[in-house]
Each structure stands twice: as structure tokens, then as C-alpha cells.
Amino acid sequence: MRAPAPHPPDPDRTPTSPGACDARAADTSDPQQLAERIPAGFVIGTATAAAQIEGCVHAGRRTLSVWDRFSEQPGRILDASTTAVTADHFHRHAEDVRLMSGLGVDAYRFSLGWTRLEPGGRGPLDPDGAAFYDRLLDELLAAGISPFATVSHWDLPEEYAHGWRDRDTALRLGEFAGLVGERFGDRIDGWITINEPATVTLNGYALGLHAPGESLLFDALPTAHHQLLGHGLAVQALRAAGVRGQIGITNAHTPVLPAGDGEQDAVMALLFDVIHNRVFADPVLTGRYPEVPDELATLFGALAEVPAEDLAVICQPLDFYGLNYYMPSVVAAGSGTGDSPDGVSAAMAELPFRLEALPTHETTGFGWPIAPEYLGTVLAQLRDRYGDALPPVLITENGASFDDVVQADGTIADIRRIDYLARHLDSALSAVAPGGEAEGVDLRGFFVWSLLDNWEWAAGFTQRFGLVHVDFADGTRTEKESYRYLAEVLRRRDRR
């Protein structure tokens, strides 16, 4: 099936309806105006991941993950930093919960450190590791903050020698989900089985940019299937454990734009849309992998004849669908390293396409285009592609890194982050409003990435996404202006 690629909107077009998603339609710098846009009951949260903030790698019986090992390899991490300390959340979690409480968020999305809870990737939960999350959950609930837990957020145990290339890893994820469901299921309101399987497959196994650093190109596609199978098994295990919370998955979606008007750019844009978006959403929501034109079929041979029973497991009923949105992607035919948002590797030059910049837009510190109008495009694509099969949607990540400067008086005036977050939240709410571009999507929440400056994977400490500044030398937390802005928005909204 040939999926139509979206056409870039005219940046100078004046919006004629709330669905036009032009952030200039509302004064999002005014906390009161943005607060009035947030519907009663709409969840506003913030998010982190264990490997990026916890640190305390060698405490207790925690064993090493693939990211621990990857960060120890010379040249893998931009600033040669490691996971050893990061934001030291393990020791400072009570302080971080107080920051969330002061912010006024409804929910906190965090991940369960697999190697802290199940050292070696096998056996019962470690008592000390489980006690850490017991403390965190009790502190969140005492503060009136709803816990949302991600079961697997990239930190795979290193003992799984072949990682997601091995079907057995899917079984291990299902077992781990059952263990954490039994232990924490009475206190967690939202469960995310796996985070961004597309990023894991593309960056970790196809292009060698992320852990475990393999460059398999299209031969990495079995890792996509095994992650999705692990998702389905995790859903089954959580339901069998009787967890009280809702269950979903989180995928990263990007609207794909052909770089030019030619047929080859259109075909390569379709190819990228399939491998980044549809391979990871279609089986979960429809129970089958996407059809592709004949000229692309040989690239997807690994997914052509997967067992029907696998697809039945993958396509479990879900309570919500998690959407991570950061940017659109511009795709051109032809080889070359292009303008990748996550770095450059030798494997990229062997692809039949390349990513290009979106020169009409400003960029974040990572060089990612700031394009809130395409958030509505993503939501509309989900509605149009999946119809009644699309569960309620949570935007489980959206945020930006900038070069935050600590002033002489200790303040951090991250005005660009305020503008970024306000415009994206406004764009999402406009898109699903009556007459909006994505009208009909049941959008129920928005999680800001991230609460804290963190260890940003292969970028190390060079990119700061936090509402709260972290001094990585001593762990000191400092509220940024974006923190205070969002706190004011949340203070003024209607909570009925």
C-alpha cells in the first residue's frame, strides 16, 4: 500500500481554523492563554529514563547494560562521558519528586532499570533494586503525582549477547514485565511496554549510532519484530499480573517529506515512512506489517513471512498509544550521510536515501528542526491510517535541547524552550479541537521531555533537555525559567 507523503505546509499561510496548527494563532507566551486551552482532565506530565538519570551503576547488585558497555568504548559517546553518575537520581530522587510537586504536574513517566531490578537479566527481582522503586513510587503517590512506568527504555542487559537480534530477548521482556507487574502493579497508573523500538532498530542495529553499535542496515529488521513481540508478551504478562494501570506502547513518529518533486524522492520518502513509522505501528494496531511497492519488497524480506501467531501476540488490545514527537524528516534519493538528527556513521552512506535539513525552520541545540505544525500532521496520520483501531493517544515525549547558559545570578533564562513547549502543546490541542487537522483523535495527555538535564545517550552531557538544570559535577539542581513558566500554566488551568 502506497502511503501518501505529507506536503510541507506553507509557512506564510494564515490559519483559517484551529486545526491549521500555526503556533502564531495564539499568544502561547501568555501562561493564562495557554492554561485556558488545556481541557479539564488532560494529563500534563514530565518524563525521564533510568539509564539517563539514575547513575549509581555499581551500587548493590546492579549489572551492566548494553549502554554501560557502549559508553565505555572509545569514540562512542561525544564527550566520552559514561552512565556511571549521570544526574544521580538514585540518591536524589526525593529532591526530584519535590521538584515535580512544585512544578504541579499530574504524572511522571520514568523507566524501570532492567539491570537494577533483574541483575544478569534472569531470576527474581533484586530486593535492593525493588526497594529503590518502592521508595520512588511511595514518594510520588504521597505528592499526588501519578506514576507512569516504562518497562524497557533501551537499557538491555549485556548478558543478552545478541540483543534484539535474538527472539529469546522478547521472551525475557515478557518475563520481566510479569515480575515488575506483580511487584508494582498496585501503584502504577500507566504502563509503557517498550520505548521507541524504531530508534533502537535504526540507530542501534542498522546504523551503529547507538548501543549495541551494530551496522546491519536492512538486516536489522528482525530486531523490530522481536521488540514488537516482546511488547505483546509484556502486555499479556502485565494483564496476567492484574496491574491496575492502563497499558500501552510508545513509538517515535516523524512525518516524512520528499526533498523534491521527483519520483525517486517520493519513493524514498515512502521507504523511510515505512521503516520509521509503519513497521512499528501497523503490527501493533492492525496485526500485520505494511505492504510496500514491488520495487521495495526485497528490502523487507525478513518481515514477509513472520508467524501468524506472533502477529496475534503483537496486536494486543491497548488502553492508550504513546506518541513521541520531535521533528519531521526530509528524505532525498541517493546515498550520502545526509543530515541525520542522531549523528553520522559509515553505514549511512550505504543507504539508497539520505536525510536533509528543513531550511525553513529554526533548529534546537541538537540541530533538529523546530516544527510544531507537524505534530498535527502526525496525529492526523494516525487517525487516517488506523481509524477505530487507534486507542486514546498520549504524547509521551516532546521537548528540546538548547545551550542553556547559567547567568551570574544563577538564573537560566531558557526562553527558546518556553516558546518550543508552548507552541507544541498549543499545536497538539489545536489539532484535535473541533475543526482541527486531527479532529477525532482522543488526545489525553502531554509529557514534557525532560524533567532534568540528563545523559543524552551518544551525545553524553552535550545536550540539555531539562526543565531543571543539573550541574553534572556536583548534582545541584536549578529551576530554569521554563520550569517556572510551565508551573504558572499548570497553576492557572482548570483542574475539574
**Residue written as grid cell 521527483:** 262
Q: What is the pLDDT along the chain (496 residues), one digit of tens a residue?
A: 323 333 333 333 222 233 333 433 456 679 999 999 999 999 999 999 999 999 999 877 899 999 999 999 999 999 999 999 999 999 999 999 999 999 999 999 999 999 999 999 999 999 999 999 999 999 999 999 999 999 999 999 999 989 999 999 999 999 999 999 999 999 999 999 999 999 999 999 999 999 999 999 999 999 999 999 999 999 999 999 999 999 999 999 999 999 999 999 999 999 999 999 999 999 999 999 999 999 999 999 999 989 999 999 999 999 999 999 999 999 999 988 766 778 889 999 999 999 999 999 999 999 999 999 999 999 999 999 999 999 999 999 999 999 999 999 999 999 999 999 999 999 999 999 999 999 999 999 999 999 999 999 999 999 999 999 999 999 999 999 999 999 999 999 987 6
Cell of 81: 562521558
Cell of 406: 547559567
User: In degrees rounded to 5, what are phi and psi of residue 135?
Assistant: -65, -45
> Is position 118 annotated as part of the catalytic site?
no
The closest alpha carbon to 226, from 300, 288, 303, belongs to 303
What is the structure's pLDDT at 418? 98
Phi-psi group of 369: left, alpha or beta (phi > 0 → left; psi -120 to 50 → alpha; rest → beta): beta
Active-site pick, 54, 373, 397, 456: 397
**Domains of the chain, with CATH numbers?**
18-492 (3.20.20.80)
Cell of 443: 488526545
CB 364 within 8 A of CB 400: yes
CB 368 within 8 A of CB 326: yes
CB 250 within 8 A of CB 284: no
Concatenate the DSSP letters of all residues of 110-121 into one string: EE--HHHHSGGG
The closest alpha carbon to 271, from 204, 199, 332, belongs to 332
pTM, to two decimals: 0.94
Q: What is the DSSP letter of 320?
A: E
* Residue 27 DSSP SS3: coil
Which amino acid, one-letter code, is at 282? D
Angle at 418 between CA 424 and CA 92, to 5 degrees: 105
What is the structure's pLDDT at 8? 36
Q: What is the DSSP letter of 402?
A: B
> Which uninterrupted H or E stretch holds 353?
strand 353-356
Tell me how many helices (H) and strands (E) the chain has.
15, 13
Phi-psi group of 435: left, alpha or beta (phi > 0 → left; psi -120 to 50 → alpha; rest → beta): left
The radius of gyration of the chain from alpha carbons, rounded to an integer in Å, stands at: 21
Which amino acid, one-letter code, is at 474? D
